[in-house]
Structure 1
């Protein structure tokens, strides 16, 4: 390394230290005026007037710059070169983005000279515009996250929320620029490639590892300051490439970022890489013949980002170290590894990652990369493709929470089975049978013989009633009914949640459990109201005729008996035939009428019992539907809604089962 280069690095370190340690008062004291000198008499580059290098002087009026002895002059974008803190001066030679322009000139001593260049005027930045399908997918993802906040935990939705935030932030920034990061392992030569693309030695290279500690950015055109601010790169690390019409025409709109090593021993370096990679529009992965198959690169970065193939360049650097046909062999093996990672390769006109081989040291293949990169930037589709790939990745992570291989829902069969279980729990069948018996009993009482009714009344009066066994039976019956209700709720919840993803299955079960609270008590009240109707059961039309016939049979018996009694006491003339015949007609006719009424009453009694059972079943089903089935159906409906939104997010458009 030459003495000039040593002085160059010393100056760079000192300038970096001065930029970081300078106070606000010092910046105000050294603020340049419109003529390019500061208030304390020093020049705009921070050097005192009497100590400025005498080799060359910058021509501020013409916008041209001439080389000076310092190889790495730096200006902080945060406002150290101007008075308004915007990175621009008030004069005609205003800075845009606070970027340092550089140009490579070969001198007799062989060192690189850094020069300053000024933008002619600020440019109007056109914000990014997403196409219709991507906007629809982002809107669907936003709806999906909103519908799922009460069902999924924040960690599950964190990635989707980050994608929405980044998409909104990127949309507000320039759509005329494409931010491309150069990433690679230690010693892969990414900084050397960065310098080769810029045409000037911007990023430090060397054998010391790690060489790159912080991201360094280089912009080929103005208007990218907001994009660079989003990356969190300070002004002292912002550069301009070699100024030439050819470079501007080929790479205009490119914002290139040199990242620290992704496998650096310093944790903060790896954190910087992960942070910036999540914000850039495209990535150039630089690998070398020794570490192109590194497991860290493939497992931590390439495989998880396989869906971002369209915004990836994979560059095999240092091919000058490979003899003969070894380059093609290594390149083929690299393609094989990328295919195993799931990265689509952009071959034969298909979309995918671009794989190239080059040597940043000799320049072999750098022109091909520059041409491919220029075409990539001119298309201005990288930001949208990057966001679309992020949406795909977020949707893939959310798939277990929404997609299922089975059709989920609550079938009519499951609903009917739940209603039947509740009806059994409240004893709908038993209530119907009791109603039928009550109707028959009422018919027997109305149409039966008086003597039989009197006997039954007397028997009921004589039977003791302690109340112990009926009370115990009632308690057992209530406990059994409660268990039946709980079992019915668990069964219908399991039926409804079968096939659902775990979060939604849990939500369905919780909705059913909430509805089951107080359900047995509500069913008991319904059973008391809807079991037997108030008042006497309805009577058929033939009932009065049967009652009159039974009364006639009783009258015949009484008349025959009185006639015989009158003959016995001598009150009437003896004549046994007629009174005996009357008594026989009454004695035989009464039970015959009662039996006939009983046969005729079976049909109406059965219908009456069925009606009572139906009312109780409907009441139980209505109570179960309001308390359990409706909340479960609401959860299932919400799941169908989010499933449809998930289908829109994935771009399928159809409902995902």
Structure 2
């Protein structure tokens, strides 16, 4: 009863993607057309139904009305009162409408993530829904199916009350489907409205094989009975024709005989796969006249047992399910009970809805492995912990921590150079002059490392591990197709990310190494900040586009203190030399000694105090460098990896919600 097609579509309407776009009513426009109703169709969920499935046609009206304004009946076709659909019917159809809409959204959201063959069954059902709703809903199509010699054509003729389908000993007897339409017979109306022609065209019943009978039972009005070829026929094409028609009819009467009621082909090929369609299935044991009366019950019990093994629910004790009857089409015994059961199905006009609901159930059940994982724990998704771990690994891949430590040491080195004693500077200059010029080159290079930004090489193995771990954690607990889609989204975003990070770090420059605690400079990006030119030292580099290393004011104060202490040393030394040459003066030797010793000890002490004071700002400067790199790497990682993964997980969540509606229940997401 099911077919798989690679292309998914419904009549002339294209699928829409619930994540990318939504159908919206234009401002001030009329409500959008119902996507679940064919052109001119009014038969599901409508309060009035006529013979053709629509509202009452224009014609004679009751209570003293003629179309020409007269005061009585005009002698034309008698008025046929419309039939009001029961309220529970509307609720049922609304539920089915919602499920079909959810199935359509489900296919639209999944078509780029799943194979066409996986969604083919759901697409076929949506196609059949669109085709069926374009046709009249006032008719119920019931097929009579069975094996060779089961007497289905005889039963067809008995139900019709006329010899419409050929019967005989020759096998197979039925070569083409024969249809019988019950027209008229309600409220005194008798006529052919042609509403069943579209259904018969859809079934492929040739005009020469169409029959019409006036129903003796008004409850059978609207019944379209179709006699199918034998499903086990040896003639080529008969089985394919039966399989095609079984996918299109609203209900099926399976006719079995005492010899073939346990046939494996009947149960394994048809009844077992169609177990979900029990409410629109009749299983009749024909030819009971060939059995002793005491054996009929035994055979029926065995038939019920086989149906139970097939998984088909039996409609007994008021429970919904298949109708199982014993009858003899030849003698007419039990046929009236079948006719009453058919009348109840036809008059309720729910067969098409029940059939489609069963089709949806089957399609949704087959789609379950690609949407739901039977696990006590649902999918974890993109947790906060997974995000933090990804950001940590991403920061490690660009060397954020190492860059922060380097910037901290650089700040300390500059502080030592700015606040150190002049003698230490002279010693360093002397060492460089004696052959340690490389250190000066390194120092100069380091002087611009924290501000201009070095050429950073992203650690690609670390970055790949970050993406791999994130993809595995985000896809854990998802069905295989969606887990693969999440992983592909992560790796697709990571493609080219190392190069983009390297270019971004090289171009970020000033934003990565902002000084901390410098009162002379505004934060980067603030008015006057980041672009302020300084005069004096460093102005040459700044003129060439390089930022000078930040110099806090207290460095200048410390440098001035070192100069004063050096002057005290020089003054004390000069006075001491003068004292030695000219002899002690009135003040004695203590003033020059005090100046010399105080200057000699005060310089290193001031430098040591500056080193202690520089640790905090240096640490802050290093952290700012580290955080700047981390923010940059996190921003690129979020845009290239995290957001695509989150979008894929959001799509899956929406798909799960639509799947829950399509199942008619609730699925934990």
TM-score range, shorter chain: 0.7 to 0.9
Gaps of 5+ in 1: 1-119, 471-476
2:616 aligns with 603
The normalised TM-score by structure 2 is 0.74
- Give the 4+ runs in structure 1 shifted more than 6 A: 120-130, 477-480
1:430 aligns with 402
Structure 1 distance, partners of 2:266, 2:568, is: 113
- Do residues 515 (structure 1) and 515 (structure 2) align? no
Structure 2 distance, partners of 1:430, 1:495, is: 27
2:149 aligns with 187
Structure 1 pair 269/479, CA: closer, same or farther in 2 (3 Å)? farther
- Please, which of 488, 502, 506 is the counterpart of residue 524 of structure 1? 502
Query: Per-residue deviation at 1:479?
Result: 7.1
Structure 1 distance, partners of 2:163, 2:501, is: 84
2:352 aligns with 383
1:554 aligns with 566
1:259 aligns with 228
1:490 aligns with 468
- Deviations 1:38-62, CA, capped at 9 Å, x for gaps: xxxxxxxxxxxxxxxxxxxxxxxxx
Query: Per-residue deviation at 1:539?
Result: 5.3
- Do residues 291 (structure 1) and 291 (structure 2) align? no
Structure 1 pair 457/425, CA: closer, same or farther in 2 (3 Å)? farther
- Deviations 1:343-364, CA, capped at 9 Å, x for gaps: 1111111111111111112222
Structure 1 pair 480/439, CA: closer, same or farther in 2 (3 Å)? closer
Structure 2 distance, partners of 1:626, 1:480, is: 17
- Please, which of 325, 328, 333 is the counterpart of residue 297 of structure 2? 328
- Please, which of 635, 638, 642 is the counterpart of residue 625 of structure 1? 638
Give the SS at the match of 1:362.
Answer: coil
2:97 aligns with 135
Q: Do the aligned partners of 2:458 and 2:502 also contact (CA within 8 Å) in 1? A: no
Deviates more, 1:500-509 or 1:620-629: 500-509
- Do residues 650 (structure 1) and 666 (structure 2) align? no
Q: Do the aligned partners of 2:285 and 2:325 also contact (CA within 8 Å) in 1? A: yes
Q: Do the aligned partners of 2:286 and 2:328 also contact (CA within 8 Å) in 1? A: yes
Q: Do the aligned partners of 1:126 and 1:176 also contact (CA within 8 Å) in 2? A: no
- Do residues 210 (structure 1) and 172 (structure 2) align? yes
1:27 aligns with none
Residues 114-513 of structure 1 aligned to structure 2 (within 5 Å):
131-221=93-183, 222=192, 223-241=195-213, 243=214, 246-247=216-217, 249-405=218-374, 406-460=378-432, 462-463=435-436, 481-513=459-491
Gaps of 5+ in 2: 1-76, 184-191, 446-454, 515-545
Structure 1 pair 494/478, CA: closer, same or farther in 2 (3 Å)? farther
Q: Do the aligned partners of 2:512 and 2:624 also contact (CA within 8 Å) in 1? A: no
Structure 1 pair 489/196, CA: closer, same or farther in 2 (3 Å)? same
Give the SS at the match of 2:362.
Answer: helix
Structure 2 distance, partners of 1:123, 1:549, is: 114
Deviates more, 1:327-336 or 1:587-596: 327-336
Query: Per-residue deviation at 1:440?
Result: 1.1
Give the SS at the match of 1:351.
Answer: coil
Give the SS at the match of 1:283.
Answer: strand
Query: Per-residue deviation at 1:168?
Result: 1.5
- Please, which of 555, 578, 589 is the counterpart of residue 566 of structure 1? 578
Q: Do the aligned partners of 2:174 and 2:230 also contact (CA within 8 Å) in 1? A: yes
Give the SS at the match of 1:246.
Answer: coil
Structure 1 distance, partners of 2:426, 2:176, is: 109
Structure 1 pair 207/447, CA: closer, same or farther in 2 (3 Å)? same
The normalised TM-score by structure 1 is 0.75
1:31 aligns with none
Query: Per-residue deviation at 1:271?
Result: 0.7
Structure 2 distance, partners of 1:609, 1:279, is: 74
- Please, which of 560, 582, 593 is the counterpart of residue 595 of structure 2? 582
Query: Per-residue deviation at 1:216?
Result: 1.0
Structure 2 distance, partners of 1:442, 1:352, is: 88
Q: Do the aligned partners of 1:126 and 1:175 also contact (CA within 8 Å) in 2? A: no
Q: Do the aligned partners of 1:126 and 1:174 also contact (CA within 8 Å) in 2? A: no
Count of residue pairs brought into register by the alignment: 527
2:74 aligns with none
Query: Per-residue deviation at 1:325?
Result: 2.9
Structure 2 distance, partners of 1:224, 1:160, is: 26
Query: Per-residue deviation at 1:163?
Result: 1.1
Give the SS at the match of 1:131.
Answer: helix
Structure 1 pair 161/391, CA: closer, same or farther in 2 (3 Å)? same
Q: Do the aligned partners of 1:526 and 1:616 also contact (CA within 8 Å) in 2? A: no
Query: Per-residue deviation at 1:464?
Result: 6.6
Deviates more, 1:375-384 or 1:130-139: 130-139
- Deviations 1:487-514, CA, capped at 9 Å, x for gaps: 2112211222222222222222222122
Deviates more, 1:198-207 or 1:609-618: 198-207
Deviates more, 1:534-543 or 1:504-513: 534-543
Q: Do the aligned partners of 1:557 and 1:587 also contact (CA within 8 Å) in 2? A: yes
Q: Higher RCO, 1 or 2 (CA under 8 Å, sep at least 6)?
A: 2
Structure 1 pair 135/250, CA: closer, same or farther in 2 (3 Å)? closer
Structure 1 distance, partners of 2:80, 2:234, is: 41
Q: Compute the RMSD of aligned alpha carbons.
A: 2.9
Structure 1 pair 404/331, CA: closer, same or farther in 2 (3 Å)? same
- Deviations 1:180-225, CA, capped at 9 Å, x for gaps: 0011122222112111111222222233322222111111114311
Structure 1 pair 293/522, CA: closer, same or farther in 2 (3 Å)? same
Give the SS at the match of 2:216.
Answer: helix
Give the SS at the match of 2:237.
Answer: helix
Structure 2 distance, partners of 1:194, 1:421, is: 74
Q: Do the aligned partners of 2:380 and 2:473 also contact (CA within 8 Å) in 1? A: no
Structure 1 distance, partners of 2:425, 2:264, is: 98
Query: Per-residue deviation at 1:516?
Result: 0.9
Structure 1 distance, partners of 2:267, 2:177, is: 22
1:20 aligns with none
